Amino acid sequence: MFDNLALIVGRLSEGLSTTVAAAVGGILLTVVFSLAAGLGMLSQVGVVRVVSRTYVEFFRGTSEIVQLFWIFFVLPALTGFRIVPLGAAILVLALNHGAYGGEIVRGAVQSVPRAQVEGAVALSLSPRDRMLRVILPQALVEMLPPFNNLFIQLLKSTSLLSLVVVAEITYIGQSLRANLPVAGQLTIYLVLLVMYLVLALLITAGMRWLERRAAARLGRTPRARTPGSRFQVGTAS
């Protein structure tokens, strides 16, 4: 079964940088779209709320694959403007997951105790300063655990890039499969599983580090996790 292991690992590693680039680019843009959508849904301006909610519902309610095909195949036919495959894939990953992230941001901001907001108003802080200095730092602690799950889901969605001929690890694995016996094919998918698992663990490690940092800045300590539980914080003694 592992006769071709070295060959398979070597070939799949050629697509690893593309998978990482797609995941990192998607994550960075997802954060931007999530903040814009989440804060937009809480805006005092009606038009901004409607636009933000429309974006969230549209991208949550339609297929990610269809979104990818629209941006990569249909949009160029309609406008004459073609996006390079990796760029189109990163954009779709960010738009799709940013819609889910917008709800995370909205919920986290609304979870900040009302007394904190009222205290900031009493200190005569401007709306901008209230958001940046009081609300978002506290909401960030609540955002990070669900964002960890969202980023891992985004990582797994990078396998869709193979549908638009982006040479990431799944695409290369599929191209190798036709030239190997059944045992070799099993090895391909085993190595793919391990690669995605390692990348997911790296994301989790990074997000948990950010959780500890965010909690420490607020004088809080992350409590022990239990399976299925949300991230909880308690006041440091």
Beta-bridge partner residues of 161: none
Least confident stretch, 3-7, 44-48, 84-88: 3-7
Mapped onto helix, strand or coil, the DSSP state of residue 223 is: coil
Nearest to 233 by CA among 141, 113, 144: 141
The arithmetic mean of pLDDT across residues 127-137, rounded, is 78
Using CA atoms, how far residue 204 sits from 68, 116, 155, 200, in Å, is 26, 30, 12, 6
Sign of CA dihedral 151, 152, 155, 157: negative
**Dist. CA 181–CA 169, nearest whole Å:** 19
What's the pLDDT band for 214 if we cut at 50, 70, 90?
confident
- The architecture of the domain spanning 5-235 is Orthogonal Bundle (1.10)
pLDDT tens-digit profile of 24-54?
A: 999 999 999 999 999 999 988 999 999 999 9
Residue 98 pLDDT exceeds 90: yes
Nearest to 38 by CA among 100, 95, 93, 96: 100
- Give me Rg for the CA atoms of the chain: 21
Contact 173, 188 (CB under 8 A): yes
Which pLDDT score, from 0 to 100, does residue 196 have?
95
**Dist. CA 133–CA 110, nearest whole Å:** 15
The arithmetic mean of pLDDT across residues 120-144, rounded, is 79
Which pLDDT score, from 0 to 100, does residue 174 have?
87
